Structure 1
Amino acid sequence: MKLPIIDTHCDLLSYLAKVPDARADRTDDIACALPFLKQGNVKMQILAIYTDVYSGSMEMAKLQGQKFKQLLEDFKEDLCLANVEFLQRITEQDRLSVVAAIENAAGLASEKAPIQAAFDNLDALIKETGRIAYISLTHHTENRFGGGNYTEGIGLKADGKKLLDYIDGKKIAIDLSHTSDSLAEGILNHIDKGGLEIPVIASHSNFRGIWEHKRNLSDEFAQEVMMRGGIIGVNFLRAFLDNDEPTRILDHILYAFESGFEDQICFGADFFYTKDFPDKSRHPFYFPIVEDASRYPALLEKLADNLTSGQLQKLAYQNAQSFFLKTWV
């Protein structure tokens, strides 16, 4: 089933920045290599600028911004920058569009940098990449902005509030995919208290109602994303689907439709470079049903027994298309 696909999260840029001799078209290295994206009919791919919490985080984010710009230059026949005009005519497009996002605001300001560095670096990355689709304040661990999804009871910190205030009205979404529950609650409360104009999404998260995991969304926060007009990108990683059941991704998607999130659910596959990952229990990272970005048409075919053609279109591209069109205009 060859519907256009919008995917809200992959880590191609960190692969290009960290791995020697990395190439965006190297299919034996990464599951979101450009040939896989083309085979899967992906028409818009969000490329995360991912960093860990360490002293060189700002330099790594800057390098990934440069890699984004270089990617567009190296593959200019096949790639373009995602924008409103492209999205409006996505079913007619031949090329793949890309847009950058921030995964972990430690890339904007390391722990000891002045908070102004976060603002300056965000502005610089917007200039380098053309647009930032969303920002995750944290990754798995705690940083100066708040608590990551593997922390307990660490919410929104003062610098997190300052960064939220800075992106107010800038057409940049805030991403709940890597927050602790306390941080998610703090983000939502701060937005509401300040009347901030910040869209709320979960770019690559599944549902705790299907698989109990701290990386997955509780129904409460999924409802918050829905009420705020956001989107939820289903994650393809085995650890967040079910350790043993390959078809569990179908259950997560169907759960979204059954639970009232029909206009929120989209794809946020979370493909990244796994060859150097030290925890061997995580291998294989992806079940064969979603092992690389070429698998989208086959996945949609499997879902066709349970979803209407209209629902499949919402999942494949329309929900994300609608979100970004209203956010970017």
Structure 2
Amino acid sequence: MTQVARRAGIEVATSPYGPDDEKGALNKLDPVRGAALLARADASTVYDLSIDYFVGMPSFQAAGDPSYQIYMSHTPQGTAVDNLNGQPDETNRHVCYSGDVIFMYTHTGTHIDALNHFGVDGKIYNNFTVEENLGSRAWTKAGVEVIPPIITRGVLLDIAGLKGVDCLPDSYAITVEDCQRALDAAGLTLGDGDVAFVRTGRMRYWPDGAKVLGNPPGLSLDTARWITDQGIAIIASDQECIEVGPSEHDDNWLPGHCHFLAEAGVPMLELANLEELARDGVTEFCLVAAPIRLRGASGAPIRPLAMPLRTN
């Protein structure tokens, strides 16, 4: 029997916030709500949801992107020998000067995808076109620099914990029912301006690239559409692309990316370390995060910090 082709049917959305809008769902971030969450946050316990960057770390080299590299551009001994700063030898040997340069793909490690990362038919969210808005170096619209500092409510949907496994199986498609059951177990709902963190368990294997990258368990397209319908500002996960892989749709190799970014205007935070939150049963928290402001870039490293909320 021939399998019936599944098509994603994704179209670029027009922003309800006007023709110049580049933030999409980030417009739901409310500074008043953020201040209230900060007032309730228990800053005595801060969970760092990011990972270290180091040579040899898992990255998307299979797709042709460069691995993370770091080089010393200045060393104490080199400064004394080269004397590029024009100081006396005695001074250069007295002052230990070090400096370095990094080189990497902007979607390396814990990072956030901007709305210009994926589009459909030559357009990104809010109908910005390749012809009018993509220069020779970067997009002029919807780059990662427009993402504001993020202070909002984070909610953990621990799907691996729900299933009673260390990690979901490869290519497991997370369902709407899975997400609803995880929320019910935590006694929570999702709402406007929240960041939904979906735990698959993959980060427990970091930095073993053979177990962290490839054929990821993640959200099905139906589940992605359901979760954006809850009003979230950002979607996040502990794996490389949030959605299930490989694609379940024959017309789109990353339909979840196209939905979140181009159809829903929801940035994607990937490769977050959710293991400590899950270990301690923290499912609701104040999230504080901000990416590096790389103008026009389609993504950037981000350091999300989670603080549990006091109940009184």
* Higher fraction of helix: 1
Structure whose alpha-carbon radius of gyration is higher: 2
TM-score (norm 2): 0.29
* Higher fraction of strand: 2
Between 1 and 2, higher relative CO (CA 8 Å, sep ≥ 6) is seen in: 2
TM-score (norm 1): 0.28
